Structures are given as structure tokens and as C-alpha cells.
Amino acid sequence: MNVIAKRTLLHYGEKYPLAHNAILAWLKEFERHSFDNFNQLKDVYGNASIVANNRIIFNLKGNDFRLITSINFEKKIAYIIWFGTHAQYDKIDVSVIAFDIKLAQKKK
């Protein structure tokens, strides 16, 4: 799978140092796969959940952090939407939270 906005994941790794290694491990593992549908993804990521707007939620670092993605299975592309702590996740509406475009515009 191709992950769009890898720089965004690296930003989150810096913002949440406790999650840095978990983010990198997820990215490396996820990119090795090619999923045709959510059921195939679920076979590998048993804790993944699908919610409104075809958003898929991953639990990282023992469920301490949540990663929201939008996956186009046909094109084999995953878009990073949001990352944060479990407590922060509980305060957002997953179906409408938008990608923070300012993260994509940040320079390295």
C-alpha cells in the first residue's frame, strides 16, 4: 500500500515521542501489504475498525494512540487523516475530522 502524507506521520512522531517507534513500525509494516478490501486488512490488523466515510482506525502502541486513515483499496492508497492519543480521539467526530493541510505545507 502506498501511504500519502508520510511527512505527516513523521510530524506526529515528533509531536508524540512515545508513539514515534510505533508509527514507524506501522508504516513499514503497512507498506509491505496490498489489500483489496477491508476484510483482507482486518485479517492482518485485527484491531482496525471501519467507520463512516470509509475511514479506518488503527490502534497504535497498545491502544494508547489512534491513527485515522482513508483507504482507496482500488488504487492501493492510504491517506493519513489524523493521529492522536486515545483521549483526544474520544473528543473528535471521526466521520468529519479533516486532514490539517498546514501539516502538508510544513517544510522539513
Q: What are phi and psi of 58, to 5 degrees?
A: -115, 140
Q: Print the domain residue range for 7.
A: 2-91
Residue located via cell numbers 511527512: 7
pLDDT of the residue at 105: 65
40 within some domain? yes
pLDDT of the residue at 106: 61
Using alpha carbons, select from 103, 96, 101 the residue that is nearest to residue 53: 96
The list of the chain residues with pLDDT below 50 reads none
pLDDT of the residue at 102: 74
77 within some domain? yes
Coil, helix or strand at residue 8: helix
pLDDT of the residue at 100: 78
Task: Look up residue 27 and give its amino acid.
Answer: L
Contact 70, 56 (CB under 8 A): yes
100 within some domain? no
Counted domains in the chain: 1
pLDDT of the residue at 12: 94
Contact 77, 2 (CB under 8 A): yes
Q: What are phi and psi of 3, to 5 degrees?
A: -100, 125
